[in-house]
Chain A
């Protein structure tokens, strides 16, 4: 389990406009699918600025918001809430295989 080592960490997330895919704002102001590339805000002030930047860059995404994350010793990020964990990692069960009959 990742530990929050340095206070209120947040990243900015949104859903991509064209397809709804979960994305994060990176340091260059681009939206990326990869949490590890997300720009990390380490305190309240930085979080506010991050959200403001995300809103300014929201042309191609829907409703940016802040996600509380924890950082482990290796610097890997993980969202704190289950909802956001699921947004990052996808379904927690195996969906039906698209073109296979599961039980035949």
Chain B
């Protein structure tokens, strides 16, 4: 062969020999970890980057849909006594807007970014439980589609995003509208919980050697706190929505006061979930902020330990605040005082974070690139939102502004300021890593300014409207009330905000086609996702990295060790110890598979069926169980190839004898 002399020559040169070995490894890993080609392979993918991208695009799609609904509402409210939307459609639209934004955009998109970024940042080859990850995505997608199909067919929920009983109960909520809402909760809750499981396991078990807990990047801590909050918040809403469906379908009386039930039970259950939900959305947002600030200030984040502790304590305190949504229900005075105290206390960890960020900026050499601009915008908006939040923690203020546009203004400042601006910062920051191309910087700045001005124009006037008595969720108002001008201003701001989002889409599409090619680490950042190519290969790292500090790419020597000895012919990953991340086990991840999709379809059939008949529950369990069995059943050939070394050591010949006899 002509290759032979060539090979010999290469082997003389040590560096070239290494390159040949690397190329060999690269091909093997590509074959092992890559998605299968074609449509089937696309459906079967369990790669966290493929699934993560899908997740992000889908969540962004729902963001656009919910944004369109917001525009429709602003058109309706731009002038008094408008007849653009009728009251019934308006009810469906504001309910769909809130529901879609909270359940189909905000929580999923935060998890989606984590699905993509977390394994890279920790130096792992894939997320833990990759098939579960694919399943989580499909269930989310189908749940979202179900809700929107229902809406298009005029069966959209219409009782607000928190679906208070009795309005959503069997007595007043006729038809199937509230059922679709309640079942959408089940879909998104299953999806959120499985992704949270993956995040927690990845965080604790798949970190690069050397990344002891005190070296984990802040962003990873923030998604860990988010995942734990999902664990403790989601079961409550799942239980609540199950009770609501049962009240509506099989005649239980959980919320029926005539038979010993209690509508306030719904409010407790909903807000025990609903308040932490806000933190589930905004804590990863603060993770983006810390990451972007550190990179663009060109220094390690100030107060790492304080930041981690304040994230964790925000997570805990977040569960002790739910009653502040119920001050108007006539609870005992002492209870109200307690929850006022707790609500104001949340300002402490938030304040700690803000001071750490200011100190980081202060001691750094900031570069005002587009991701950084969104972070600065976040500061401004979020501080206003936080302050109006503390105001409403006081019961008298809350009673005054309850159910007015003041509340609408407040939570849009918190959610858009605390989550959407950092998220757009994160889009601009990680776009080169995800796509391999840089986003246009000029257009990025323009996007920021248009969004920032548009946002404040839209929502600041709502504070004043609320103080002037305009209630939320009214489809129109009379001219003599004097709310027309500020509403017109808010609607004009809405146009600008929409334009800002469109600019981002244009920028992204243009950059995807013709953007500057991104290097591995275009921002000069410190975390591991920048230690591989942009975009990363299917297996993430040719040799899994190790780290020597929190900001490892800034501090590590050129010959920082890598991990070798993992098989490249199967999807073998390194499992490290929980606290110090020392190598502990080699685990084999399953191949790509169509079963998660089939299981998600079976689950969808059961969930949608139970909207119409309780029998769909037992009957629907059969295909779910069948698909799950298919999912977990190992492929015989592969299982036989797995060398059970430890089993052999224990049993020696006896093991094989046993096996020979019985299989």
- Are chains A and B native binding partners rather than an unrelated pairing? no
